[in-house]
Structures are given as structure tokens and as C-alpha cells.
Structure 1
Amino acid sequence: MKGEHHPAPHRNKLSSWTASVLLYTGPLAWVLQICVGEMMTSWPCYPDMDRRTAPIAGYEWTWLGAIVVLALCALAACVAGLLGWRKFREVRDEREGGHEALLEIGHGRTRFISLWAAYLGLGFALATLVTLVAFILVPPCLG
């Protein structure tokens, strides 16, 4: 059979588009929550050069809004990680041998990509949730 010697025999089970989405969702969700969270929590307290003791009137919702964005980003990263793990379980028998042997010959790419998608998604979900500690412990503005 022609496909027997291909380095990624399960390549049809993980498209390039799916692999990209699974690999990039976790890191992009983390960056999004950092940027949006910083914007939503800092501007109402620092609209000018001086720090305020309370958010500008009408912007009290931004702290809760930043937590909602954080939760959605953590959920997106977690879903990507779990889908990456599910895909890894589907293709983990792509080639015989451990990862040390397969690294030498470049086989098992689909397994490699799906495992890293799981690591990145779940790792960035955890990193995003660590930011939640700062939202809880650090008071908005001067408190």
C-alpha cells in the first residue's frame, strides 16, 4: 500500500486547520485575557496621570467584565486542550515505538501535534486561571 511508509499514516484524522486551531487556541486565549483584562481593570483607575481610589463612575462593571473574559478564555483553552487529548488518544498508535525512537526518523507527526495541542490548551487554561488569583487578591484601584 502506498501510504504504509508515510511518516504520518493518521494524517487524515487531523487536518491542518484542526491542528492549527487546537495548537493556537490556548496561547491566543491567554494573550487575549491578559490584554483585555489589563485594559478593563486599569483604565477606570488610571484615566489620567493620577491613580484613583475607585473606578470612574459608570465603569464599576469592568472588574467583573474582566473576570468574565478570563473565564471564557480559560474555558476556550481548556476545550482546546481536551479536544487535543481526545485526538491524541485517537492517533497515539500511529507508529510503533516510543517517542525517542520516532524522533530520530520523524514519524508520528499527528501524535506529536495532538499531544502538544493537549499540553498547550490545558497549560494555558491553568495559566489563565492563575491570573484569577490576582483579580481576587488585588483590589481594584486603591481599594
Structure 2
Amino acid sequence: MAAGPQQSSTQSHPARRRNSVDAWALGFGLLGAPAIWSLHLIVNYALTSEVCSPGTIQAGSDVIANVQRTVLLNNAATLIIAALATFVAYGCWRATRDEENGAHDHLLEVGEGRTGFLSMVGMVAAGGFFTATIFDTLAVLTVPICA
């Protein structure tokens, strides 16, 4: 039988403070913004492609203005949820930031503090999707829907 790695009984778990953060909160902080951004992109595409297909709606119609308002509301909801995901991830990170002692580069090498790491990834990802939605909203405000 091959000898496996020896585990000492004094060795601590790599994420000792993992129980101080709810798994649902960590999951929302990590995946909430990308999921809502994807959904928002699909909904906006479906709305605008239906209205802007050739021969469907005449230019200057109220339908185009209504679609633009709906797209802006969808963007606003996406911004709110992405901001909420950022703050939830930040809260998770604050709860676990002192999970292990040492500099961040050392902790990454040894694999300690994974809950804090996932929280940090969630903050960065949610911030990125929040920024992408801001640029999308600026495009909706400055470019005509069916241009």
C-alpha cells in the first residue's frame, strides 16, 4: 500500500473561519453579479431585437420609447443587485480577513484562507460587472435603441 501524505492532528483547517460566513452569502457575493448581468444581457437583447427587427415597428413609435424605458429599468435593477453582491462579498471578506496570519502572497502559496479569497474574488467580479452595466447604461442613454 502506498504511503499517503501524513496529516498531523495539530494541523488546522485551511479555512478556519469558514463557519463565520454563510455559504449562501458567499455564493451570492461570488456569483450574484455575473448571474444577474448575464440575465440582464439576455433580456435586453430579446427586447431590443424584437422591436428593432426590420418591418416590425415604425420609427418614432411609442413602442421603442417603452422598450428603452424597460431596458433602463432592467439596467437599474442589475446595478442594484451587482452593488448588493459587492457589499455582501465585502462583508464576507471582513468576517474572514484575519483567517490566517501572514502576507497575502504567502497565504496564496500555502492555500490558506480560501473563504477570504473567494470573498475577494466576489468583490472584484461584482465590481467589474457593476462597471460593465454602467457602460451598458450609458450606451442605452446615448445611442438610439434601433440605430
TM-score range, shorter chain: 0.7 to 0.9
Determine the structure 2 residue equivalent to 1:89. 94
- In the TM superposition, 1:19-38 aligns within 5 A as 19-38=26-45
**For residues 28 and 76 of structure 1, do their structure 2 counterparts lie closer, same or farther at Cα, with a shift above 3 Å needed?**
same
TM-aligned CA deviation for residue 52 of structure 1:
5.5
Q: Give, in whole Å, the separation in 1 of the partners of 2:10 and 2:21.
A: 16
Instruction: Find out whether 1:16 has 2:23 as its counterpart.
Output: yes
Larger radius of gyration: 2
1:7 paired to 2:14: yes
Matched, 1:100 2:105: yes
Q: Which runs of 4+ in 1 moved over 4 A?
A: 49-53, 55-59
- SS at 2:78 equivalent: helix
Q: Mean Cα displacement is larger for which, 2-11 or 83-92?
A: 2-11
Amino acid at match of 2:75: L
The farther-off stretch of 53-62 and 85-94 is 53-62
| Structure 1 gap ranges (5+) | none
Query: Would you say 1:77 and 2:51 are equivalent positions?
Result: no
Q: CA RMSD in A?
A: 2.2
| Aligned-partner Cα distance in 1 for 2:75–2:11 | 45
Code of the residue aligned with 1:69 in structure 2: it is: N
Normalised to the residue count of structure 2, the TM-score between the two structures is 0.83
The DSSP-based 3-state class of the residue aligned with 1:44 is helix
Who is 1:61 aligned against? 66
Q: Does 1:113 align with 2:98?
A: no
What is the percentage of aligned positions where both structures have the same residue? 29
